[in-house]
């Protein structure tokens, strides 16, 4: 009876120890699973944070690249405008120089014509005094020819002036269009 009681107690202790061992093993397993879950969660959070930082860095980089591109575009437009303005100024100077040259030429021609006319008038007067009708007629013809020549020269000078003016207007228009584009 005593042995049976001892065997039952030993059996109960063994069962109790087994149960404690099982509970400990279960607790350890549960702790391992919880630790793994926590580690996985922390890993996911870290990954999400890393991705967020990468996206932010990419957005900042893209914004900077866009700013640089805009700056380059602006500089290019300014350079183009400066170039057009410079070309316009050169055309303007050339136009003004051409106008001055034509004006000087016109004055010179008028002065030359005036001297020729005076000389011819003197010649005509002298011829008239001398009574040489034939020479008088020739002188009058020369005078008419000179008048015609002066008229032609004046028309040619006017044509030249109008051409220079058209070129100036064209250059002015090109500059204005460049300003609009800029």
Which tens digit of pLDDT belongs to each residue from 79-119? 999 999 999 999 999 999 999 999 999 999 999 989 998 99
pLDDT at 33: 96
- Distance CA(47)–CA(39), nearest Å, equals 12
Rounded to an integer, the average pLDDT of 120-125 is 83
pLDDT band at 126 (very low <50, low <70, confident <90, very high): confident
Nearest Cα residue to 142 out of 126, 129, 124:
124
pLDDT at 132: 65
Q: Which residues of 142-162 are buried (b: 16+ CB within 10 A; e: fewer)?
A: ebeeeeeebeebeeebeeebe
Check pLDDT > 90 for residue 11.
yes
Rounded to an integer, the average pLDDT of 63-79 is 96
Q: In this predicted model, what pLDDT tens digit does every residue of 133-179 receive, in sequence order?
A: 777 788 889 999 999 999 999 999 999 989 989 999 998 999 899 88
Higher local confidence (pLDDT), 132 or 60? 60
Average pLDDT over the chain, rounded to whole? 92
The answer, as to whether pTM is greater than 0.85, is no
């Amino acid at each position: 009876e005593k042995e049976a009681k001892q065997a039952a107690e030993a059996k109960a202790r063994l069962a109790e120890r087994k149960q404690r061992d099982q509970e400990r093993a279960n607790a350890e397993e549960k702790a391992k699973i919880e630790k793994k879950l926590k580690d996985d969660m922390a890993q996911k959070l870290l990954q999400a944070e890393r991705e967020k930082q990468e996206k932010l860095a990419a957005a900042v980089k893209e914004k900077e690249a866009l700013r640089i591109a805009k700056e380059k575009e602006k500089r290019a437009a300014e350079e183009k405008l400066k170039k057009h303005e410079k070309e316009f100024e050169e055309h303007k100077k050339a136009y003004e120089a051409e106008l001055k040259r034509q004006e000087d030429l016109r004055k010179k021609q008028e002065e030359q014509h005036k001297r020729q006319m005076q000389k011819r008038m003197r010649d005509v007067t002298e011829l008239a005094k001398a009574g040489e009708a034939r020479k008088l007629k020739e002188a009058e013809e020369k005078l008419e020819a000179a008048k015609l020549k002066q008229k032609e020269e004046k028309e040619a000078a006017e044509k030249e002036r109008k051409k220079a003016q058209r070129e100036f207007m064209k250059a002015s228009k090109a500059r204005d269009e460049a300003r609009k584009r800029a």
